[in-house]
Amino acid sequence: MKLLHRHIFAQVALTSLAAVGVLTFIVALGSVLKDLITPVLAGQLPFTTFVYLIWLTVLYSLCHTLPAGILTGVLLVLGRMSSDREITAIRSAGVSVAGISAPIFFFALLGTGMSLVVNFYYMPNAKVTYEKDLADAVRNNPLSFIVPKTFIRQFPGRIIYVSEKTGEVMKDFWIWELDSQNRVRRFARAQSARVTFDEPNNKLVLTMNQAQIEERDGKDPENFSLLRGALSSERVPFELSLDQLTGRKLRVKPEWLTLNQLLSQWRKLGQPDPAVPLAERQKQRIKLQTVIQEKTAKAFSVLSFALFAIPLGIKVSRKETSANLGIAVALAMAYYISTFGVNLLSNKPEFRPDLLMWLPNLGFQVLGIWMFYKADRS
């Protein structure tokens, strides 16, 4: 019996770890493409910083991929064993479904503990460090915002294009100033321009040489009959503030707080505060309670997934990796969509979203127990 348990444990552990790795790679790749590729190509991120940020992305992705990976591992292993008639042979030897499941539940308990540590410690620290380091890396190289042969839209109300850039000197420089409706109200072009960084004021200063400027009507900028004509100027300065890009203070979301930080804020909101009404403090406390319960429920979803996946894996009898992987992804998506639905009630404390956060787990557990009972009697 011990040999059987060790065999099942090893198979589930290795397959689950591989599944976690694959899913983490997919999730992290999406974050890298979304947040890091543009700064890297623009030269705003050194290679070492880029690699470190990828590592942080992997750490905070684990809060989502760890439960889904273990679910996938259980389905893959039991589906293969059922397809190869190993489950039939084991049960013919007098081993119940509960006996087959014991090492899987033990591994699921280990996964739950690891998920708790990730959700309440590694993920919050990794996410906050990621946001800070990314902002610092871009802030430390402000001139890199000007990328040749690219329409630069990062500055509010401005679009910039430059054909060549050598240090501070740019050639064939174009700039469009937009109104509140994103209509061009002024356009300027110069054969050359120089960009410098005004560090005390956190802004870029552009000086255009031999500039051609086109002014448009403020009320109807798209009416070209109202153009004020092209103006020529030997030197035209422009200022581009970096405050909105690099100067904003990092706003740490409740989801990015560790357990100690969440409990500290929760206790603080429980103290009388004349500056904050009681109803608002209660509302904020419910939000923090919802975050704590969500992180805890997500960790215990590993056990819920295992309870559901064991009878499902035995029943489906699929050896194909793609089919079992598809089932696992669909189940995980159903869980996370349910959690997202509960999160929509976070601003309505009367519905107790902190307690409702356990409903997806409860649904998987009830269905899993029923399927477990049916599988053990078949």
What mean pLDDT is reported for the chain?
Answer: 81
**Residues 153, 51 share a domain:** no
Domain interval for residue 157: 146-247
**Residues 125, 153 share a domain:** no
* Residue ending a domain, choose from 198, 223, 247: 247
**Residues 150, 89 share a domain:** no
Q: Which of 17-21, 25-29, 161-165, 233-237 has the lowest mean pLDDT?
A: 233-237
* Residue ending a domain, choose from 181, 215, 247: 247
Q: Where are the beta strands (DSSP E) in 230-368?
A: 230-241
Q: How many domains does the chain have?
A: 2
258 pLDDT band, cuts 50/70/90, is very high
Query: What CA–CA distance (Å, rounded) separates 293 from 288?
Result: 9
Which tops the pLDDT comparison, 235 or 115? 115
Stretch 271-278: mean pLDDT, rounded?
A: 79
Q: Residue 35: exposed, middle, or buried by beta-carbon count in 10 A (0-12, 13-18, 19+)?
A: middle
**Residues 259, 228 share a domain:** no
Stretch 162-189: mean pLDDT, rounded?
A: 83
Residues 6+ apart with CB under 8 A from 40: 50
Comparing C-alpha atoms, which of 326, 300, 357, 292 is closest to residue 105?
300
**Residues 133, 189 share a domain:** no
**Residues 88, 107 share a domain:** yes
**Residues 232, 271 share a domain:** no
* Residue ending a domain, choose from 187, 216, 247: 247
Q: What pTM value is reported for the model?
A: 0.73
Supply the pLDDT for residue 156: 77
**Residues 315, 197 share a domain:** no
**Residues 43, 185 share a domain:** no
Per DSSP, 224 falls in state: G
**Residues 173, 94 share a domain:** no
**Residues 6, 134 share a domain:** yes
pLDDT (tens digit, 9 = 90+) per residue, 130-152?
A: 888 877 776 666 666 677 888 87
**Residues 262, 241 share a domain:** no
Residues 6+ apart with CB under 8 A from 348: none
Which tops the pLDDT comparison, 256 or 97? 256
